[in-house]
Structure formats: C-alpha cells, structure tokens
Amino acid sequence: GESDWPDDYDLGLMAEDVVGFLDELELDRVGLVGHGMGGVVARLVAQEHSDRVERLVLVETPAPFPG
C-alpha cells in the first residue's frame, strides 16, 4: 500500500506494460482476455501490436472513445 504509483494512469502505458510482460515471458503470440477497462487495454494491445495477439476476447468492455 505504500509503494510508488504514477500520478496519472494512462491506458497506452498500461498496454505497453502488457507487451513488456509478454516480452519478459518470451511469449510471441497470445490469446488476450479483457474485462471492463482491462478490455480497453487489451484492445489497445491488439490494435498496436496485432502481431502479438492471436485471439481477443472482450467482456463488458466500453466502446472505443472517439478521437
């Protein structure tokens, strides 16, 4: 509870964290499942790194925001 955290939570940064995690585990392609806002992060990973995502499952994820 007393560890540092960023001042702002950025969905793009979270998506890059997922990709970094995949890199650490040496996983080239994965099936990604995201629920709620985690689905937004999963969608961003699939959008920006489509070569890394074999399947994408989104559950109760809000539609992409315009602009």
3 located within any domain: no
Number of domains in the chain: 1
56: which strand partners?
32
Query: Which range of residues forms the domain containing residue 36?
Result: 11-59
pLDDT of residue 29: 98
DSSP result, 3-36 = S---SS--HHHHHHHHHHHHHHTT-SSEEEEEET
Q: Decide if pLDDT at 67 tops 70.
A: no
33 part of a folded domain: yes
pTM: 0.84
3-52 tens-digit pLDDT: 887 778 899 999 999 999 999 999 999 999 999 999 999 999 999 999 99
Within a domain: 65: no
